[in-house]
Each structure stands twice: as C-alpha cells, then as structure tokens.
C-alpha cells in the first residue's frame, strides 16, 4: 500500500538518480581519458581560474541566505492552512489568522528593507 501510493515519486527518484549515476559511470568506463593541463582546470565559463576556490566569502551572502530561510519557513507554515481554507466553516477566523500572519511577515520585510538588509553596499 505504501509502495503503491508513492510509486510515481519513487520512480521519479529512481530515474533521476539512475540517470545521473549512469552518465557518470558510462563516461568513466567508455570515454577516452587524455588529461592535459587545460582540461584539468576547474571550469569557470571560459575564464582562467584565479587563486583558491576555498576562501572566505563576504557575510552578506550569508545574510541573504538567512533571510531567505526565514521567509521560506513562513511560507511553508502557511501552506497547510491554505489547503483547508476553501472548505473551512469559519472563514473569517481563518482569514484573520492568515492576515495576522502575513502582516507580521510584511512588518519583517519592511524592517529589513528599511535597515538595508537586502542592499549590497
């Protein structure tokens, strides 16, 4: 019963993973392997790589990622309420609750914009 319910998802997973693994394996097994200095360079869209890839990144990237995570969680929490909203008996309660939730979210957004949280420099 479990397998039947999730068969499409499992199939999708299997095909995706299988495709990736198969490609890597096939090219490793059958592809010709002739190394040269240019080929061993990391691929950087044609530009020559400069320095080490492992160097500290500016914290501003981190700030954006963290703010993204917070809004991500908020949206994820709103989803389940939206699924029952249409058939819910007390629509006003649900609406008020979601409105409050959104209002707090918007206050957070306005605050972040005002404080320059999303500015780059």
Which residues from 8-37 bind another protein, rule CB under 8 A? none
- Region near another protein per CB under 8 A, out of 20-28, 37-45, 96-104: 96-104
Between 35 and 54, how does the x/- string for binding to another protein read (CB under 8 A)? -----------------x-x
Q: Which residues of 62-88 are buried (b: 16+ CB within 10 A; e: fewer)?
A: eeeeeeeeeeeeeeeebeeeeeeeeee
DSSP letters for 50-76: -S-S--PPPHHHHHHHHHHHHHHHHHH
**Given 7, 16, 21, 100, the residue binding another protein (CB under 8 A):** 100
Q: Does 72 bind another protein (CB under 8 A)?
A: yes
Q: Measure the CA–CA gap between 111 and 107, rounded to whole angstroms.
A: 6
Q: Measure the CA–CA gap between 20 and 28, rounded to whole angstroms.
A: 12
Least gap, CB of 34 to another protein (angstroms): 29
Residues that bind another protein (CB under 8 A): 2, 6, 52, 54-57, 59-63, 65-70, 72-74, 76-77, 79-85, 88, 90, 92-94, 97, 100-101, 104-105, 107-108, 110-115, 117, 121
């Amino acid at each position: 019963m479990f397998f039947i319910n999730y068969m499409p998802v499992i199939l999708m997973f299997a095909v995706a993973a299988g495709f990736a693994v198969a490609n890597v394996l096939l090219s490793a097994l059958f592809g010709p392997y002739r190394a040269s200095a240019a080929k061993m360079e990391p691929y950087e869209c044609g530009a020559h790589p400069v320095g080490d890839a492992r160097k500290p990144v500016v914290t501003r990237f981190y700030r954006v990622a963290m703010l993204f995570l917070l809004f991500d969680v908020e949206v994820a929490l709103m989803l389940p309420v939206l699924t029952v909203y249409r058939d819910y008996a007390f629509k006003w309660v649900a609406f008020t609750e979601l409105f409050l939730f959104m209002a707090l979210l918007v206050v957070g957004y306005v605050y972040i914009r005002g404080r320059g949280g999303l500015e780059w420099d």
